[in-house]
Structure 1
């Protein structure tokens, strides 16, 4: 079930159906498997319950560290950093996302590295660092292509690149 209806062109955040997300959150209940925890983090984040999202994301990192693979741990850390980004903790989020992207690329986990780069670009975008945002989005696009992501699934990255380009031009015209 795809809960994402699109992306806000001004924030690049997911546009979701809150009732469908709430229903899915209820379906997950108190499941404690790593996939369930990660999904709960994302749902709480997009619903705006950032305190609980942070708490569950910290739990997911602990579970991944104890019982998951290195790749699982990277995914949990990336999602945790994205919650920090939503909370306005940009410096912490950017550092963690950069570290995760570098580690994933070092392991040649292209899809995980792309996931980190996409979120890194969004963090830069929110701090109005459109040049670094564009660089991160372009890297995410390259990594997604490297991972063999079908063209129809590259749309969010292409939209993000366009948004960063548009904002860079607007910022240069305004100054």
Structure 2
């Protein structure tokens, strides 16, 4: 089940049903498996509990490093970087996502690379660098198409490109 009902066109943050996310967080409880940790991090992030999400995301990276695959570790690091972005730590998020995207591309893991580029685009978008955000979203779109992503993922990326274009246009009119 997807908890994402869309994306805010001004911030690109996920739009979710808060009650549904809180219920799921309660349901997961204190499970310690890596998938449960990652889901809890994401739920805490979208529920605006970024401090809790940060602590748990750091734990999930450690767990993935000790007991997961390289793909698991990349996913955990990307999620951790997305929490950093929400907290305004754009440089740290950008650096982590760049490393993850390059590693995933080097391994031929298009879906994970796309995930990293999509989130790096969100970092640049939040920081006001709409040209770089657009470039990252375009790269994510290409990789998602290559990986055979579903229409929902492709649409989210296309909407992010449109949002970056709108912001670029507004920024050029304002200057």
- Normalising by the residue count of structure 1, what TM-score does the alignment of the two structures yield? 0.98
Q: Which residue of 2 aligns with 1:150?
A: 150
Q: Secondary structure at the match of 2:5?
A: strand
| 1:1-175 matches, cutoff 5 A | 1-175=1-175
Q: Deviations over 1:70-115 (max 9, x none)?
A: 0100000000000000000000000100110000000000000000
For 1:9 and 1:147, the matched residues in 2 are separated by 25
Q: Secondary structure at the match of 1:154?
A: helix
Find runs of 4+ consecutive structure 1 residues off by over 4 angstroms: none
Deviation at 1:5, TM superposition (A): 1.0
Q: Deviations over 1:49-88 (max 9, x none)?
A: 1111001100100000000000100000000000000000
Question: Number of matched residues?
Answer: 175
Q: Which runs of 5+ in 1 are unaligned?
A: none
For 2:142 and 2:153, the matched residues in 1 are separated by 13
For 1:152 and 1:161, the matched residues in 2 are separated by 14
For 1:158 and 1:105, the matched residues in 2 are separated by 21
Deviation at 1:173, TM superposition (A): 1.0
- Normalising by the residue count of structure 2, what TM-score does the alignment of the two structures yield? 0.98
For 1:11 and 1:116, the matched residues in 2 are separated by 18
For 2:84 and 2:152, the matched residues in 1 are separated by 29
Q: Deviations over 1:7-60 (max 9, x none)?
A: 000000100011100000000000000000000000000000111100110010
Deviation at 1:152, TM superposition (A): 4.1
